[in-house]
């Protein structure tokens, strides 16, 4: 009988059709799963995120055993725990006599490199839980001057056939965002994402996380997330029937005390492998075909998954391991404590960060136009911003978090992803949310007493980066507006913006 091979299954690879499992033989090989401190501490993850992953791992190990696999599972609290994924593999190799490891490519460069450094024969499989392979993305990117998502998305629509009528997009347009920019109103009847009661396995994990990571930023309980494939599928059905029909119109809206609105909260389950992007899109396309979901909502949602999600992964692997360290705008200010829950008078930031602390969730526009926009305007070091997003959200894995943060949100990749920086004054937040109504600052005040910091910092940002952005055709109008302002007004805006940043960095509550 030949020695077993070790089949590595990581905490975000919890799919029965994982390529590493397909490449292995349950009669010969053993699965290795390990809860390790190195993965739990390489950034200070939100306790809910750690609990989600450990509970889902423990449930998945049971499913594998029921399917006939031998699983060598290392729990975090075990005395023999070797502390890291490579060290656990080496220890298991020693125990079993294995010389070979079968793995599915991890979603972070640091772990890919660590596996490649192992003194064992590594059979690295592609992660084919995505719709586009590395080869397909590279072929699409080859020779293009700019890698805009929109063109990749059209290729993906044609290739998958989602919402297509022959060669043409359903409804005659690729994109219905002109119908999708509505501010939301309070609706007591609006459904919420499905909640799940923790079982004994999850309760045990919650106690462990409380004991070991209780001091990390974030609230652990009540914990109500899906932790198995079966639960995640119920959450998907609930989303499609109850929330998706109005997903499109309210996609960009923000309301105080309404963290989810019509968003899916499905990214955590998708990113750890409990749901596949294809089954999610199939469910959405079928509901549309049945007449239950309007086209603008179905298209808006499918674009996020087959477009943005796949595109972000493509960029992460195309750009290489140094991508998270890029800092094209040369921003070096330290991330202020308000991101870790310190008091702020800015209602929008207080709401987005408070909700992040309580739920480890914020929807896309909160991440992009509140916390991301503020960090960019304030000139925060993008590496620190990246670590924050990687730590605090349930769905954060570097392949998707880094392109969103470094590229889309902070323009730190110099424009690989975004054609212009996502910056805005208070105007956008006032239009798309009700945050400004209860704020200490005034969204309509541009200067002086009560002026919203976003208004001051917006102009200061544009002025600071004039050399880079003034020639951008999409920004010429904005610079023309700035130049038309009286010189003394411009000087006062810059002065007040500078004062604000100085006070913030000195630790004052701003």
Q: Given the rule CB under 6 A, which residues bind ligand SF4? A: 346-348, 426, 429-430, 435-436, 439, 441, 443, 452-454
**Residue 53 binding: pick among ligand SF4, ligand DLZ, ligand FAD, none (C-beta 5-8 Å cut-off by kind):** ligand DLZ
Query: Which stretch of DSSP H or E encloses residue 164?
Result: strand 164-165
- Binding to ligand DLZ by residue 10, rule CB under 6 A? yes
Minimum distance, C-beta of residue 246 to ligand FAD, in the bound complex (Å) = 12
Choose among ligand FAD, ligand SF4, ligand DLZ, none what residue 303 binds, the Cβ cut-off being 5 to 8 Å by kind.
Answer: none
d(CA 320, CA 426): 35
Nearer to ligand DLZ, 108 or 246 (CB): 108
- Is 111 a residue that touches ligand DLZ (CB under 6 A)? yes
Task: Specify the residue, 103 or 385, whose C-beta has the smaller distance to ligand SF4.
Answer: 385
**CB-nearer residue toward ligand DLZ: 73 or 500:** 73
Strand stretches in 47-113, DSSP E: 70-74, 100-104
How far does CA 116 lie from the centroid of its chain? 26
The Cα 115–Cα 488 span in angstroms is 59
Tokens representing residue 149 in the block? 């998502």
194 cis-preceded (ω within 30 degrees of 0): no
The enclosing H or E element of 302 equals helix 295-302
Contact flag: residue 497 with ligand DLZ (CB under 6 A): no
| Binding flag, residue 194, ligand FAD (CB under 6 A) | no
Using CB under 6 A, which residues numbered 67 to 106 contact ligand DLZ? 106
Distance CA 279, CA 307 (A): 15
Q: Which does 497 bind (CB under 5 to 8 A by kind): ligand SF4, ligand FAD, ligand DLZ, none?
A: none
Kindly identify the residues of this chain, within the stretch 21-60, that bind ligand DLZ according to CB under 6 A.
Answer: 34-36, 39-40, 45, 50, 53
Using CA atoms, how far residue 506 sits from 337, 464, 493, in Å, is 11, 21, 20
Asked if residue 368 binds ligand FAD (CB under 6 A), the reply is yes
Give least dist CB 53 to ligand DLZ, A: 5
d(CA 90, CA 353): 40
Task: Give the binding-site size for ligand FAD (rule: CB under 6 A).
Answer: 28
Tell me the C-alpha distance between 175 and 178, whole Å.
Answer: 8
Residue with Cβ nearer ligand DLZ (111 or 375): 111
Angle at 15 (CA atoms; ends 403, 17), nearest 5 degrees? 110
Residue closer to ligand FAD (CB basis): 202 or 373: 373
Phi, psi of 258 (to 5 degrees): -125, 80
Contacts of 463 (CB under 8 A, 6+ apart): 482, 490, 494
- Tokens linked to 91: 């220890």
Find residue 122's DSSP bridge partners.
101
436 binds, among ligand FAD, ligand DLZ, ligand SF4, none (CB under 5 to 8 A by kind): ligand SF4
Among 4, 44, 47, 107, binds ligand DLZ (CB under 6 A): 107
Report what 249 binds from ligand DLZ, ligand FAD, ligand SF4, none; CB cut-off 5-8 Å by kind: none
The residue ranges that bind ligand DLZ (CB under 6 A) are 10-12, 34-36, 39-40, 45, 50, 53, 106-108, 111, 397
């Amino acid at each position: 009988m030949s020695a077993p091979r070790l089949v590595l299954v990581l905490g975000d690879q919890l799919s029965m059709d994982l390529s590493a499992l397909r490449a292995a033989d349950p009669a010969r090989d053993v699965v290795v799963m390990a809860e390790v401190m190195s993965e739990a501490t390489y950034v200070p993850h939100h306790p809910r995120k750690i609990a989600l992953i450990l509970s889902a791992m423990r449930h998945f190990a049971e499913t594998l055993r029921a399917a006939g696999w031998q699983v060598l599972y290392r729990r975090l609290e075990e005395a023999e725990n070797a502390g890291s994924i490579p060290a656990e593999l080496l220890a298991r190799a020693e125990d079993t006599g294995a010389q070979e490891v079968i793995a599915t490519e991890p979603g972070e460069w640091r772990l890919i490199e660590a596996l490649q450094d192992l003194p064992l024969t590594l059979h690295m499989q592609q992660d084919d839980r995505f719709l586009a392979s590395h080869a397909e993305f590279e072929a699409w990117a080859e020779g293009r001057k700019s890698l805009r998502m929109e063109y990749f998305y059209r290729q993906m629509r044609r290739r998958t056939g989602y919402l297509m009528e022959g060669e043409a997009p359903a409804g005659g347009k690729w994109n219905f965002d002109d119908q999708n920019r509505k501010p939301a109103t309070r609706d007591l009847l609006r459904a919420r994402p499905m909640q799940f009661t923790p079982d004994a396995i999850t309760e045990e994990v919650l106690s462990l996380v409380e004991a070991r990571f209780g001091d990390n930023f974030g609230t652990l309980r009540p914990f109500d997330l899906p932790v198995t494939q079966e639960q995640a599928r119920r959450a998907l059905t609930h989303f499609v029937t109850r929330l998706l029909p109005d997903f499109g119109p309210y996609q960009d809206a923000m309301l105080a005390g309404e963290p989810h609105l019509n968003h899916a909260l499905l990214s955590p389950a998708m990113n750890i492998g409990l749901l596949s992007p294809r089954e999610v899109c199939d469910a959405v396309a079928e509901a549309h075909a049945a007449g239950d979901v309007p086209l603008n909502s179905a298209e808006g949602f499918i674009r996020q998954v087959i477009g943005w999600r796949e595109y972000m992964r493509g960029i992460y692997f195309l750009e290489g391991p140094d991508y998270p360290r890029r800092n094209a705008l040369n921003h070096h200010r330290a991330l202020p404590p308000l991101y870790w829950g310190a008091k702020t008078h800015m209602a929008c930031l207080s709401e987005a960060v408070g909700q992040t602390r309580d739920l480890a969730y914020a929807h896309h526009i909160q991440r992009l136009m509140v916390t991301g926009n503020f960090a960019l305007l304030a000139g925060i070091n993008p590496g620190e911003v990246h670590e924050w997003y990687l730590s605090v959200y349930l769905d954060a894995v570097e392949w998707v978090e880094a392109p969103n943060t470094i590229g889309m949100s902070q323009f730190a990749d110099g424009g690989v992803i975004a054609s212009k920086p996502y910056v805005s004054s208070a105007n956008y937040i006032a239009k798309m949310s009700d945050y400004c109504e209860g704020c200490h600052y005034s969204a309509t005040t541009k200067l002086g007493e009560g002026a919203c910091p976003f208004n001051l910092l917006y102009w200061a940002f544009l002025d600071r980066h004039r050399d880079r952005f003034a020639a951008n055709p999409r920004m010429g109008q904005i610079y023309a507006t700035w130049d038309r302002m009286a010189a003394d007004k411009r000087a006062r805006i810059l002065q007040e913006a500078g004062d604000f940043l100085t006070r913030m960095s000195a630790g004052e509550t701003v």
